Amino acid sequence: MKKSCISNYRKLLLPLALSLCVTAHAQDAWVATRTHASLQNTGSQVVTLTAAHHPTIEAARVSELESGKPMHVSLSLNLRNVTELETFLEDVNNPHSPLYQQFLTPEQFKARFAPTDDQVKAVIAHLTAYGFHHVEVASNNMLVSADGNAAAVNAAFHAQMKTFTFKNKQHYANGADVTVPAALGEIVDAVVGLQDYAKPHTLMHRASDKSMIAAAAGEVAHNPTDFASIYDAGSTPTASKTVVGIITWGDLSQTISDLATFTMANHLPTVNTHVSPGSAGTLAVDQNAFSEWNLDSQSIIGISGGVKQLVFYTAVNGDSQDSGLTNATLMAAYNKAVTENVAKVINVSLGGDETAAHNDGSQAADDKVFAQAVAQGQTFSIASGDEGVYGWSNDPTEGAQGYVANGNGVVQIDLSHYSVEEPATSPYVIAVGGTTLKTIGSKTWAGETVWNEGLSYVDETNGDFNERLWASTGGVSLFETAPSWQTRVLGANVTKRQLPDVAFDAALSTGANIYLQGQAQAIGGTSLASPLFVGVWARMESAHNNTLGMPARNMYIHFNKHKAPLHDVVSGNNGYEGHGYNAKVGYDNTTGWGSLNISAFDSYITKYW
């Protein structure tokens, strides 16, 4: 019926045709999705953006988004047999289950749990009826992406798209909860890509005049190859049998060139690299981000001793004015790593506001992708964040003044208001926090404390001279239910996902000397910590013939009883001015269980898993 409606107005301009279609079907039943309004009218002169810190903007600065504004959306579809899937994920990682390590292929997962082809056809029909084009269906049927414009989005989803200025940039967001026809109500879970003011950012800390921290005794920056000795790889095999992935965005030419410089300088074999775009589209060049992928790739190779292949799963250009990244194109990159099912371990050095991700549906959409990864025996390792307990803000340090002015927005600051970052909040990933590492010389482990460098510029490189806290993000998810393996070990009162799970070096003063355009530069952050875990876990997978799968369940159960592989971090705090969590013996919300001794961890897996 909607298709004929569009055809009736084929001679009209599309925005007008869509408007008439919506009017004609105003009486049709439409139902809610998980994607809620990103803009809330909180007063006659104020509009609030949906995020954990409730930033406000002047209502006068909000207007209708131009109807012809190009938009790329990705519809996340509901899984089938969810209860059966949760049971399988427990069994496939339980050494006492007959299903242990009986991982699924992507084809098997699709047949048992993914949306059906008929459900996908219904979604495609809805999109094409409202003028969307370049419709792309992921091979697992979980994502249906399409290009359109603001008028099409408004008509197809009742989104009421708006535009506004925030933090000195023009942004867009949906002003209404997203709905779909009732026939699609049990199929479409969320429509991702309708806001661009809150999306994941890189989690690295680069040196600057302001941020150079006076190193304490035993604190030195490291060649990435040092970490294999520091964390005691010993005779543990390298990761030469294991394919590793890195989630990125943009063009990877410079990163691959710098990786070759790194391996040559350290007499390592040239790395077999491959770039796999997350979806159809172009790869925008982002000069501000390639240093992140350099940090990821060189740190992984340094601590792992080398991998079978390094695959860059890169998000395509969804927004040419802001690094090509949207939640929709980033989610497609996650999904590509899963549907290809080539990389056993995948690094994600990105994080963003959990409340915004929950509100726009991307948190739940990401969870589905990560759940498939677990079913297939893949492990996503995700940096927990660099803001300490203030994952909701890049500027959480102005408590005395009560606010931070950011362009045309004002962020209210409450130092007792804690939050963590998505996607590290997912119960289907390993969340990696940060430590400050002490060594004897440059290669012998001598201790670790919670990474907390205090205040420094938000982003001097890009001219943001607000100060913020740089520390290991950890705490409690506002929305994600605690996985069974956390509640079982940490206690029945643990009902929400706790972060992080483990931690590795993240301090700028003890971080990695990375090649950037041929020159070495020190970089820290949990964007270093996560790749270090990736390299360690890739070694474990290679040592055990790539049969281990996602380790969270077994790490929690065994780490609670046997501490041999652990460097338990027992000192430090991840807050500011008396706030935050304190390190303690055993698990805590600063560094999780702590860091790992590689050779002891390998022996431990052989004995207990």
Chain-centre distance for alpha carbon 126: 30
- Find all residues with CB under 8 Å of 532, minimum gap 6, and list them: 227, 231, 299, 303, 432, 504, 505
- Find all residues with CB under 8 Å of 191, minimum gap 6, and list them: 33, 35, 73, 74, 75, 76, 157, 159, 178, 180, 361
3-state secondary structure of 179: strand
Q: Are 73 and 194 in contact (CB under 8 A)?
A: yes
Residues in binding site = 568-569, 586, 588
Distance CA 450, CA 427 (A): 23
pLDDT of 92 > 80? The answer is: yes
H or E element in which residue 264 lies: helix 253-265
Distance CA 496, CA 409 (A): 31
HSE of 556, CA atoms in CB hemisphere, 13 A: 24
Distance CA 269, CA 266 (A): 9
Residues in binding site for Ca(2+) = 568-569, 586, 588
Sign of the CA dihedral running 314, 316, 320, 325: negative
Distance CA 600, CA 127 (A): 54
Q: Which residues pair with 437 in a beta bridge?
A: 448
Instruction: List the one residue out of 577, 502, 590, 545 whose CA is nearest residue 103.
Output: 545
Question: pLDDT band for position 287 (50/70/90)?
Answer: low
Task: Walk me through the domains of the chain, giving residue ranges and CATH numbers.
Answer: 2-79+114-192 (no CATH), 201-206+227-388+422-608 (3.40.50.200)
At residue 258's C-alpha, the angle toward residues 252 and 261, to 5°, is: 145
What are the φ and ψ backbone dihedral angles of 354, each rounded to 5 degrees? -65, -40
For the chain, give the number of residues. 609
pLDDT value at residue 128: 98
Distance CA 498, CA 145 (A): 32
3-state secondary structure of 363: helix
The DSSP annotation for 265-323 comes to: HTT-PPP-EEEEESSSS-----TTTHHHHHHHHHHHHHHHS-EEEEEEEEE--S-TTTT
Instruction: List pLDDT tens digits, range 64-87.
Output: 999 999 999 999 999 999 999 999
Distance CA 232, CA 229 (A): 5
Distance CA 30, CA 559 (A): 49
Put simply, whether the predicted model's pTM sits higher than 0.75 gets the answer: yes
Q: Which residues pair with 496 in a beta bridge?
A: 481
Distance CA 200, CA 193 (A): 13
- Residues marked active site are found at 292, 296, 527
Question: pLDDT band for position 52 (50/70/90)?
Answer: confident
pLDDT, average across residues 176-189: 98
Question: pLDDT band for position 318 (50/70/90)?
Answer: low
Instruction: List pLDDT tens digits, range 127-151.
Output: 999 999 999 999 999 999 999 999 9
